[in-house]
Amino acid sequence: MYKGIAASPGIVIGLAHVISNTPLTISRKTIPASKAETEISRLKAAVNRTKADITAIKEKVVHDIGTAEADIFNAYLLLLQDPMFTGKAEEIIRTQLINCEYALHMVLQNYAEFTNRISDPYLKERSRDISSLADKIIRNLEVTGKKETKQSAEKYIIIANDLSPADTADMDKNNVLGFVTEMGGATSHTAIVARSMEIPAVVGVRDITSTAKTGDLVIIDGEKGIVVVNPNPKILILYKEERKKFILKLRMLKRFKTLEAVTIDKHKVELTANIEFPEEIGAVMENNAEGVGLFRTEFIFINKSNLPGEEEQFEAYRTIAMKMSPKPVTIRTLDIGGDKFLPYFKIAPEQNPFLGLRAIRLSMANPNIFKLQIRAILRASAFGNVKIMFPMVTIPEEIDEAVKIVEEVKAELKRKEVKFDGNIKIGVMIEVPSAAIMADEMAKKVDFFSIGTNDLIQYTVAADRGNETVSYLYDPLNPAVLRLIRMIANSAHKAGIRVSVCGEMAGAPHLAFILIGLGIDELSVSPSSILSAKKLVRNISFKDALEEAEFALKQEKGAVISEHVMASLDKILMPKKKENVDES
């Protein structure tokens, strides 16, 4: 049993597919002459398997992205047929009577010696391709001859050292039951994407790729952050029960769907949804969210082969605006950098990407890309209730600059008689301590604030949100974080604007309780968390939330606040033994 960081709720039980990152160790073994043909058959079987794997990936790329992007896979397939490659390995097996892993290794060494002498970058790249192909074949040699696991026919659980947000966004829900990674934190974008795709996940599980094996039976408890490998029958029965309870809990929450999000003492809390993909609008409507509080637009950019043009972006924004209308849709401009990168949009390597050219900074450095996105958003605003939001604002000048660009684009659209909402609301994310401290000044410049606690926490405590080794510092209840949130909320209200929280903190009921008490007007959470947030709101009083926040602000330690809020919620929710599902 492993304890990791809970990244995406749900309980799943299935077979593991381990993606190993450890470099292969290849030893030389001599074989008798009589075994040479058997060894060559092993090699051929592994090559065929590799061909099948590459063809499958190629077909997926052709289907999802396009034929041109699949060219690289044709090159791989050609290489597999090249007599200089596997043919050479066969010859070495026959003449030197050694195992095929080592024969492949020798072929690779010959290539490496050859390519080291040339400077042509294209050929150098090819040598890397060959090396990764040899790696694939050798890994397939390990599988060949072993008992076939059922993972290709059944859904499986991915176990990997790390997965990028793009890898996660690319997962096929028809095949992947859940995933476990060694790296990562609860608010890393990989975890956020998993939640939006409703794929249970646990991250930050040390060393699991070196102990779990492909084909092992695995349980993921994405709510508690527990992973069990090869459970005994007792544990298996227990988790099957837990899984049933989890599904039942989700079903029970449906009763809150049509009810208003108000506290017992009639304080209104707006409940909106965070989305990464336009397809999530179905889930947003199904859970009856009061709008989209955050659309992370970078995800429509992330698994593409080119930067999406104005029309493609416009279509995506317009579709969402129309489907949600008259409810609001807050479209956040590109937040690339940090842990999100575009393969076709290269940023110079940085020592600290989270402190580098990210979000609004990147947009400012690339005004054409920024303007194009603003144009697409403004055009979409003619079809619904659209708001613009800028991520990671650090200094007030960035707001001035960004608003100036919006005004320029508006003027251009006006000249061309293109329709847009002339009163479109503009807001900023407050997720950097400097912005929190200057929130009073910033509030005068915008129509709304949205607090990005995922980043605000990491920048306040200087602990990377995706680094499991410092996750003990990454505490949403750190009093410094709570004091900053209070400061932002006060500044917003003083200037007469509204403030939401769209970080993951808003989706955890005990944290939402404190946020409401700190004066947050709106919680923007993943679509699947809307109903549990509503259940919380309807079962608390604003007065209790205010008291809880007051208590929290006086504390020195996050652990004390955590214990207190849990106890308070238990006290508030338990005695009633009923959920406030009455129409009111």
| Residue 455 or 548 with smaller CB distance to ligand PEP | 455
Which span (278-286, 433-441, 449-457, 472-480) binds ligand PEP, by CB under 6 A?
Answer: 449-457
Judged by CB under 6 A, the stretch of 373-381, 447-455, 527-535, 561-569 that binds ligand PEP is 447-455
Cα 502 from chain centroid (whole Å): 14
Cα→Cα distances 490→9, 412, 431, 445, 518, Å: 33, 37, 16, 16, 9
User: Can you tell me which of 455, 468, 521, 548 binds ligand PEP, judged by CB under 6 A?
Assistant: 455
Question: How would you classify the pairing of strands 217-221 and 226-229?
Answer: antiparallel
Q: Which is nearer to ligand PEP, 381 or 524 (CB)?
A: 524
What strand order describes the sheet that includes 11-19?
2-3, 226-229, 217-221, 11-19, 156-160, 176-181, 201-203, 5-8
Largest CA distance in the chain: 87
End-to-end Cα separation, the chain, in angstroms: 45
Of 16 and 457, CB closest to Mg ion = 457
**Residue 522 in the binding site for ligand PEP (CB under 6 A):** no
Least distance (Å) from Mg ion to the CB of residue 427? 14
C-beta of 192: minimal distance to Mg ion in Å? Answer: 10
- Residue with Cβ nearer ligand PEP (200 or 503): 503
Among 291, 503, 509, 527, binds ligand PEP (CB under 6 A): 503
Write down how long the chain is: 584
Candidates 36-44, 214-222, 307-315, 448-456: pick the segment binding ligand PEP (CB under 6 A): 448-456
d(CA 195, CA 10): 10
What does 296 bind: Mg ion, ligand PEP, none (CB cut-off 5 to 8 Å by kind)? ligand PEP
Residues 142-181 within binding reach of ligand PEP (CB under 6 A): none
Q: Which among 402, 444, 450, 452 is positioned nearest to 428, based on CA atoms? A: 450
Identify residues 332-351 at the interface with ligand PEP (CB under 6 A).
Answer: 335
Out of 455, 468, 475, 522, the residue judged to bind Mg ion by CB under 5 A: 455
Query: Which residue of 165, 452, 476, 527 would you call a contact of Mg ion, by CB under 5 A?
Result: 452
**Residue 453 interacts with which of Mg ion, ligand PEP, none, CB < 5 to 8 Å by class:** ligand PEP
498, HSE (Cβ side, Cα atoms, 13 Å): 14
Size, binding site for ligand PEP by CB under 6 A: 11
Residue among 140, 454, 478, 500 that touches ligand PEP (CB under 6 A): 454
- Whether 209 contacts 19, CB under 8 Å: yes
Q: Per-residue x/- marks for ligand PEP, 397-426, CB under 6 A?
A: ------------------------------
Choices 163-171, 225-233, 430-438, 544-552; region in contact with Mg ion by CB under 5 A? 430-438
- Shortest approach of Mg ion to residue 455 CB, angstroms? 4
In the chain, the amino acid numbered 330 is T
Does the protein bind ligand PEP through residue 453 (CB under 6 A)? yes
In the list 14, 178, 215, 452, the residue contacting ligand PEP (rule: CB under 6 A) is 452
Within 10 Å of residue 460's Cβ, how many Cβ atoms?
Answer: 21
Q: Which of 63, 189, 493, 564 is catalytic?
A: 189
Query: 């209308």: which residue's tokens?
Result: 325
- Contact assessment for residue 518 and residue 489, using Cβ atoms and an 8 Å cutoff: yes
Nearest to 270 by CA among 395, 443, 387: 387
The footprint of ligand PEP on residues 244-303 (CB under 6 A) is 294, 296
Query: Applying CB under 5 A, which part among 164-172, 288-296, 315-323, 449-457 lies near Mg ion?
Result: 449-457
CA dihedral 82, 51, 46, 154 (to 10 degrees): 170
Quick check: is 502 catalytic?
yes
SS (H, E, C) 53-115: HHHHHHHHHHHHCCCHHHHHHHHHHHHHHCHHHHHHHHHHHHHHCECHHHHHHHHHHHHHHHH
**Can 189 be counted among the known catalytic residues?**
yes
- Give the type of residue at 316: A
Instruction: Point out the catalytic residue in the list 100, 105, 502, 510.
Output: 502
- CA neighbours within 13 Å on the CB side: how many for 202? 25
Q: How far is the CB of 391 from Mg ion (least distance, A)?
A: 6
Closer CB to Mg ion, residue 455 or residue 544? Answer: 455
Q: Closest separation between CB of residue 298 and Mg ion, Å? A: 11
Of 236, 168, 154, nearest in space to 201 by CA: 168
Question: Could you tell me which residues are beta bridge partners of residue 176?
Answer: 156
Q: Residue 378 or residue 428: which is nearer to Mg ion going by CB? A: 428
Q: Choose, by CB under 6 A, the member of 182, 221, 431, 464 that binds ligand PEP.
A: 431
Strands, DSSP E only, in 69-225? 156-160, 176-181, 201-203, 217-221
Token pair in block for residue 14: 């299935």
Q: Which does 475 bind (CB under 5 to 8 A by kind): ligand PEP, Mg ion, none?
A: none
| Interacting residue ranges for ligand PEP, rule: CB under 6 A | 192, 294, 296, 335, 431, 452-455, 502-503
| Interacting residue ranges for Mg ion, rule: CB under 5 A | 431, 452, 455
Residues with catalytic roles: 189, 502
